[in-house]
Amino acid sequence: MFERSVSGPEKLAFDDPVAELHVRIVNGTVNVVGTDEGPARLEVSEVEGPPLVVTQRDGVLTVAYEDLPWKGFLKWLDRKGWRRSAVVSLAVPAHTRVEVGVVGAGAVVSGVKGPSVVKGVTGDATLVALSGPVRADTVSGNVEAQSVTGDLRFNSVSGDLTVVDGSGSTVRADSVSGSMIVDLAPDGPTDIRLTSVSGEIAIRLPDPADAEVEANTASGAVSNAFDGLRVHGQWGA
């Protein structure tokens, strides 16, 4: 069992194995990198307001505020608690399970092969070269996924989703008003299901493509740029 309160710049290395990483911060930035060598490492370069609490227990490394629980995270809107900020960087074994929660902060997760879960209230997230299953839930934060090869699931109220060079076998995305741009380079069968109430949806596939597409809209237009694909049906223009 390891526990430390961090109120200023500090670097820590963890000799004990790390199987799970939990990070929850408000404002600032969090950067998580999966590596194939060395122990887990933490660098806190800036802390304003309440200290961050760093704990390691039974293979779980946690960097978070004591008053910011993971359960019900997306409903955390304590304005008084927003008077805080932290800049945190972590390097963990590539197969670590990663959970990152941000409120008003930017998050970057890269090189992780284990499952990744990202929750954001107003913070944006960038996901790079993740090969494990990925789940991203936001209220208004945007998510950009680059070269993600694992299954991707995204849920948001008004946040946008951008997928670049995606090659996972499954993409599931739901949003109320957020837009979705999904640029895929699949290396095998891929199942894509995108749903939005008022946001725009764009899917880009390699040409030629072997694809079956079903698109439904109540009031928006449907268009395509594939010569062999025709738009028909009574819904949509």
Which among 86, 119, 152 is the end of a domain?
119
Q: How many domains does the chain have?
A: 2
As a whole number, the mean pLDDT across the chain is 90
User: Is 236 a residue whose pLDDT tops 50?
Assistant: no
> Can you give the pLDDT at residue 81?
53
Q: Do 99 and 21 fall into the same domain?
A: yes
The reply to whether 136 falls in a domain is: no
Q: List CB contacts of 229: < 8 A, sequence separation 6 or more.
A: 213
- Beta-bridged to residue 85, according to DSSP, are 48
The reply to whether 229 falls in a domain is: yes
User: Is 95 a residue whose pLDDT tops 70?
Assistant: yes
Q: CB count, 10 Å around CB of 107?
A: 26
Q: What is the CA radius of gyration of the chain?
A: 20
pTM of the entire predicted model: 0.91
Q: Do 191 and 105 fall into the same domain?
A: no
User: In terms of C-beta density within 10 A (0-12 exposed, 13-18 middle, 19 or more buried), how is residue 53 classed?
Assistant: middle
Cβ(35)–Cβ(95) under 8 Å? no
Q: Do 150 and 110 fall into the same domain?
A: no
User: Is 56 a residue whose pLDDT tops 50?
Assistant: yes
Q: Do 146 and 90 fall into the same domain?
A: no
Domain that residue 192 falls in: 142-237
Quick one: what percent of the chain has pLDDT higher than 70? Answer: 94
Category of 67 on φ-ψ map: left (φ > 0), alpha (ψ -120 to 50) or beta: alpha
User: Is 237 a residue whose pLDDT tops 50?
Assistant: no
Distance CA(20)–CA(3), nearest Å, equals 16
Q: Do 160 and 228 fall into the same domain?
A: yes
Q: Do 56 and 108 fall into the same domain?
A: yes
Q: Do 180 and 228 fall into the same domain?
A: yes
> Can you give the pLDDT at residue 179?
95
The reply to whether 110 falls in a domain is: yes
Task: Tell me the per-residue pLDDT of 128-180, one tens digit each, with 9 for 90 and over.
Answer: 999 999 999 999 999 999 999 999 999 999 999 999 999 888 999 999 999 99
Q: Do 153 and 95 fall into the same domain?
A: no
Q: Residues 210-223: what's their mean pLDDT?
A: 79
> Can you give the pLDDT at residue 161?
97
Q: Do 42 and 75 fall into the same domain?
A: yes
Instruction: Specify the higher pLDDT residue, 120 or 187.
Output: 120
Confidence of residue 34 (pLDDT cuts 50, 70, 90): very high
